[in-house]
Amino acid sequence: MALLAVPITNIPAQSAPTTSAASALEKIAVKGRAAKTGYERSAFSDGWGDIGSCTVRNYILKRDLKLITYRGNCVVDTGVLVDPYSGKTINFKYGVGTSLAVQIDHVVALSDAWQKGAQKLDSSARYKLYNDPLNLMAVDGPTNSSKGDSDAASWLPPNKGYRCAYVARQIAVKVRYKLWVTLAEKEAMQRVLASCPKQKLPTS
């Protein structure tokens, strides 16, 4: 299904920055997975939207990388990523065969979102979920590939020091878009947050 590319505006209201991830998790509905029937990435977006004059991809690279150089005014040419998932430092270089070293991850995978409420969202809300910086992070490509469409019950970042922030971001996305969690997913999140009960929800 083709969707019209539009600027990313009117993203659903942010959670209050004082909200703890643990308390927000308790307010998320717990259900089983819905069928994956009908899922396609194009049901969310045919590609990156724009934030200002830049694509969302370049916006995220500019947000998450350091020591950046540009091609023109917007396209990130080189940079350095301290990968939150693995803890590795990665040199990014724009181009075929090099740029895949750094990928833009949907923190709540699109397939997972589809099976937990996104199929009930209208096309505008799904487009925003696809392009929302809250749900996007620049990360190590191979590590992101190992994640696939897993939820917290089946995959957590190898870098244990980032797991609290990772789970909190997933919760924030699910709150923002009114998605649910499975029981196994909730229990996995609770185990992570037990070591960081004051972890706050991110808002951007």
pLDDT digits (tens, 9 = 90+) for 96-148: 888 889 999 999 999 999 999 999 999 999 999 999 999 999 999 999 999 99
Query: If you search the block for the tokens 């998605």, which residue do you land on?
Result: 179
Is there a domain that residue 146 lies in?
yes
Is there a domain that residue 122 lies in?
yes
Is there a domain that residue 15 lies in?
no
**Closest Cα partner for 45 from 99, 95, 7?**
7
Query: If you search the block for the tokens 């023109």, which residue do you land on?
Result: 72
pLDDT at 99: 86
Tell me the average pLDDT across 22-39.
Answer: 96
C-alpha 71/C-alpha 182 separation (Å) is 43
Is there a domain that residue 127 lies in?
yes
Is residue 131 within 8 A of residue 97, CB to CB? The reply is no
Is there a domain that residue 5 lies in?
no
pLDDT at 84: 98
pLDDT at 194: 98
194-198 contacts at long range (C-beta below 8 A, 24 or more positions apart):
195/164, 196/164, 197/20, 197/22, 198/20
pLDDT digits (tens, 9 = 90+) for 32-56: 999 999 999 999 999 999 998 899 9
Is residue 34 within 8 A of residue 115, CB to CB? The reply is yes
C-alpha 86/C-alpha 181 separation (Å) is 25
At 179, the pLDDT band (50, 70, 90 cuts) reads: very high
Write down the mean pLDDT value for the chain: 92
At 204, the pLDDT band (50, 70, 90 cuts) reads: confident
C-alpha 60/C-alpha 45 separation (Å) is 17
Is there a domain that residue 3 lies in?
no
pLDDT at 18: 63
pLDDT digits (tens, 9 = 90+) for 164-174: 999 999 999 99
Is there a domain that residue 91 lies in?
yes
Provide the domain limits for residue 118.
21-41+48-193
At 15, the pLDDT band (50, 70, 90 cuts) reads: very low
Tally of structural domains, the chain: 1
Is there a domain that residue 151 lies in?
yes
